[in-house]
Structure 1
Amino acid sequence: MAAIGTLGLGNSGVEALSEAFKNAADKNHDAESATEATPTLVEGVKVSLSGASIEKSASAGGDNRDIEESGLPENIQQLLKMIRNLQQQIAEKNARIKAVMADKTLSTEVKIAKLAALKGAIAGLTNGLITANLSLSKVMNQSDLTAEQTMKTASLLMKT
């Protein structure tokens, strides 16, 4: 059975914030803020979804019953579930990007920081998705799948 690991932000090779932004933020700190030891908590972005989108999200990412009942080999099922999970996470990050862009209460600097972090996360997830798709293709080529199993895998892969 093939095991696939996903890339996280720490090992994706993408920085969450540019060095220029970090240096500008450091220059803006005065002596008083430098002596403070407690970090300031900032409220995150709130996203509200319609009932239809919540239902679609639950049926897409949370319910893999169709994969489990497909009769496909276990390693192919696991890769299909992983691909769905990564696609769902990418969609969630894209929704958060839209919410940050629409949030009028955030300063430009905070928006830049949040967008950079979200884009870095998407880059890592996209790398994981590419790896999972390549692994699925390799496993399918190495397995003795029937034409029906190949079609079933393709149809499950297209569902999001």
Structure 2
Amino acid sequence: MRDNNEMPGHLARRFQQIAVAVFLAEVEEAGFDLTPVQYAALSAISTNPGVEQVTLAGLIAYDRTTITGVVDRLVQKGFLLRHPSSRDRRARELKITEAGKRTLRAITPAVEAAQRTMLRGLTAKEGTELMRLLRKAIAAGNDLSRAPLRNAELR
């Protein structure tokens, strides 16, 4: 039987646990109540105003069912507006509010600090190499995911 520390799945899950804990700690310390996926959604909507909810799920690699709850919470916090699509009455278009824009700007230093903390045991060169290898592995396995990235390039 192999040691868990020799299995990429175990190490990826462990790194994810650490990444979420670090993100939440930095964001909470800065006075915000936002999860990593809420931040990703808010950021993606800011970059893609009017994006439909289903498209958002693909942009941040989240399943369609769960994204509804994420969007609901962001709407409740006053960070997003959700309107029926002008192209498809069944779809919902999303737009970031002024409060959402302010929060996104204000939370950025905490998010950036979290990213640095996640890589703190690595040299700058190692951090760059880890990011390159993660992108490469994700690109190769993207189609195997239950929530693959859509229309995205992993640079």
Is TM more than 0.5 here? no
Structure holding more strand per residue: 2
Structure 1 or 2, whichever has the larger Rg, is 1
Greater percentage in helix: 1
TM-score grouping bracket, smaller chain normalisation: under 0.3
TM-score, with structure 2 as normaliser: 0.28
